[in-house]
Structure 1
Amino acid sequence: MDVIDLRNFYSQRLGIVARRLINRGIQARWPDAQGQRVLGLGYPTPYLGLFREDSERCIAFMPAAQGVLKWPTARPTLATLVDEFSLPLPDAAVDRILLVHALEMSDDPAGLLREVWRVLAPSGRLMAVVPNRRGVWTRTDNTPFGHGRPYSRSQITQLLRQTWFTPASWGEALFMPPVAGGWFLRSAMAWERVGAALSLPFAGVHIVEATKQVYRAIPAHRERTRLIPALEPVLVPSSSVQSISACRPGVCRDDM
């Protein structure tokens, strides 16, 4: 989706409520980022406000195919347009990375996560907000969560493990239906409490936290042993010795 569409959604009442509910799930796992270097990738600006004040550094990277908007609006810019497969950062440069509207929108999510692995510090943390395949929000296209590729929990786990991450904790958000009616918006928090208490599988998004695998097991292939027989040298008689051995005393074969 274009950044204009994303900005318009989060400026509406439904988008404001969705941001509040997702922020609640993010803050439950990352209550603060004191002294941390925080990177948001995708369209993370509605959620980076949680960490902008107390973090050491807080920046937003937006993919080139999506576009970029100035953020924050009244302060020096902390957002930039990037190639998602070649981030302009050295190895192990950030402590925490937040992915929002990134994995489901990417043409190569595995390549994106490998680049995220490169710039994440060895003790860093990754948090991804991913649309739930079984959720109601993915079945309508009037929200950004209805675009791109949604994931089930097992699919996210497999993707993270293939790209050298280990899932550490899980959460869900957006149990309310994506309806902009006044009653649904007023009862959004009640939907969240009931859905979380009953562990309902129809949440709108997964919120997964993962750690970086620094040391990966490399399979060792044992070489096949080739048995070579030990050869001993053998003396081969010369031609003169063979001719002498062919003659008897006093008689040669030529005389016969």
Structure 2
Amino acid sequence: MNDTSNMPELSSDSPRMSIPGLDRWLASAAGRSVLDWEQAQVDRMLTDIFGYHALQIGLQQVDYLRANRIPLRQKGGDMPGGDFLCDFHALPIASNSTDLLVLPHVLEFSDEPHQILREVERVLIPEGQVVVIGFNPLSLWGLKRRFDRSGEYPWNGSYLSMNRLKDWLKLLGFEVAQGKLGCFIPPLERLRWLQQWPTVDQPGDRWWNVSGGVYVLHAIKRMHGMRLITPNWKKKPVRAKALRPITQKETHGH
């Protein structure tokens, strides 16, 4: 059994991600299909990102940092299973200390997604990078969420569109580097039903690119330089007044 005696404890009033049914869904055919697509995209995005400290916040059951070569890679969450326990809304990480942060399916299951993004911006170094993974409300998955009343993962969240997330990141000073939508298959639970849709993702990626069930968004924290105040070279300098010479007459008058 893992020793959790040294793990920090969350206060009882801390906002927490609601994840009933998460493990069951991760083991389902639909869950495995989503995770396979997500990991393929994240592996491609993270391969050439370098630095000293990489974090994955949330969904500790999956190693989204596996393809990255940053030496210190850690996973944190609000339940045991990672390297440390944390409140997503107040990360126990020093400001400007993290080179890369992966945020898988956290925002749509939080009551305060804006605060989580503010924490992401705080802990990243200038030019630090974040990868956000989320469910797309403008998809068959979003449609099922609206009618599902089970209260189980992943239908118990408030999905955010990729365009809205881009706007939020832009307000925090991030520049979106790339985004990818995928998983155009319907959210079916049985493997044999999913196998009847073997070619949907290929045309979907080309023709229905706004309706993918899941997206992966990669953004960079930009630090805008201060505006230097330079001299106004066009302004003519004030000419000094010439002294009037004293005439001989004025000299004799005194």
- Which of 42, 46, 50 matches 2:58? 42
Deviation at 1:188, TM superposition (A): 6.0
Q: Deviations over 1:142-186 (max 9, x none)?
A: 773433221223211211122222211110121111112333433
CA distance in 2, matches of 1:104, 1:166: 21
Q: Is residue 2:102 matched to residue 1:98?
A: yes
Contact 1:110-1:163 within 8 A present in 2 as well: no
Deviation at 1:216, TM superposition (A): 7.5
- Which of 24, 28, 36 matches 1:8? 24
Aligned to 2:74: 59
Change (3 A) 1:36 1:137: farther
Deviation at 1:26, TM superposition (A): 1.5
The within-5 A match list for 1:199-214 is 199-214=208-223
CA distance in 1, matches of 2:196, 2:154: 20
Change (3 A) 1:51 1:2: farther
Larger mean CA deviation between 158-167 and 35-44 belongs to 35-44
Aligned to 1:70: 81
The within-5 A match list for 1:109-128 is 109-128=113-132
**Between the two proteins, what is the percent identity of the paired residues?**
22
Contact 1:139-1:146 within 8 A present in 2 as well: no
TM-score (norm 2): 0.71
Q: Is residue 2:90 matched to residue 1:86?
A: yes
Deviation at 1:94, TM superposition (A): 1.4
Question: Structure 1: which 5+ residue stretches go unaligned?
Answer: 72-77, 219-256
Aligned to 2:143: 139
Q: Is residue 2:176 matched to residue 1:161?
A: no
Question: Structure 2: which 5+ residue stretches go unaligned?
Answer: 1-16, 228-254
Point out 4+ residue stretches in structure 1 off by more than 6 angstroms: none
- Which of 18, 21, 25 matches 2:37? 21
Aligned length: 206
CA distance in 1, matches of 2:139, 2:54: 29
CA distance in 2, matches of 1:174, 1:148: 18
Q: Secondary structure at the match of 1:48?
A: coil
